[in-house]
């Protein structure tokens, strides 16, 4: 789990989720809404940090991969390409989600 960077993935997922949530909240210009929004984001970050994301990832890897496949993944992630994948995939995931969200918003506007 350390090699895959589960902690970085958790952070990227949390940031992505909070960014998406912020876009759905009421207008942040009013101080009262801004304060409530900031407090909600703070609580969410604290709760996310308490979760045992590594255990969840461990269980899922065990569910979907055999022991030999996990050994192959370890070899891949130890390679230069695997290291690059670990560095850029969280950004790719975040950008993909952002673009998907934007496409969904555009589709929603066009359907009105």
Q: What is the pLDDT of residues 53-103, one digit of tens each?
A: 778 888 998 999 999 999 999 999 999 999 999 889 878 887 887 888 788
Only one residue has tokens 């308490």, namely 50
- Average pLDDT of the residues in 19-24: 72
Q: What is the pLDDT of residues 28-50, one digit of tens each?
A: 667 777 787 778 778 877 777 77
Q: Is 17's pLDDT higher than 90?
A: no
Tokens of 71: 């050994």
CA atoms within 13 A on the CB side of 93: 16
Domains of the chain, by residue range, sit at: 6-111
Any idea what the Cα angle at residue 95 is, between residues 90 and 96, rounded to 5°?
95
Asked if residues 6 and 57 have their Cβ atoms less than 8 Å apart, the reply is: yes
pLDDT in the model for residue 1: 66
pTM to 2 decimal places: 0.55
Separation between Cα atoms, residue 13 and residue 93, nearest integer Å: 9
Cβ neighbourhood burial of 102 (10 Å; 0-12, 13-18, 19+): exposed
């Amino acid at each position: 789990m350390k090699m895959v960077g589960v902690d970085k993935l958790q952070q990227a997922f949390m940031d992505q989720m909070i960014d998406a949530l912020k876009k759905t909240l009421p207008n942040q210009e009013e101080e009262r809404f801004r304060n409530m929004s900031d407090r909600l984001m703070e609580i969410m970050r604290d709760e996310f940090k308490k979760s045992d994301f590594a255990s969840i990832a461990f269980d899922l890897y065990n569910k979907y991969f055999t022991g030999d496949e996990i050994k192959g993944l370890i070899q891949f992630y130890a390679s230069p390409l695997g290291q690059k994948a670990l560095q850029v995939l969280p950004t790719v995931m975040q950008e993909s989600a952002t673009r998907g969200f934007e496409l969904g918003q555009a589709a929603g506007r066009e359907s009105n």
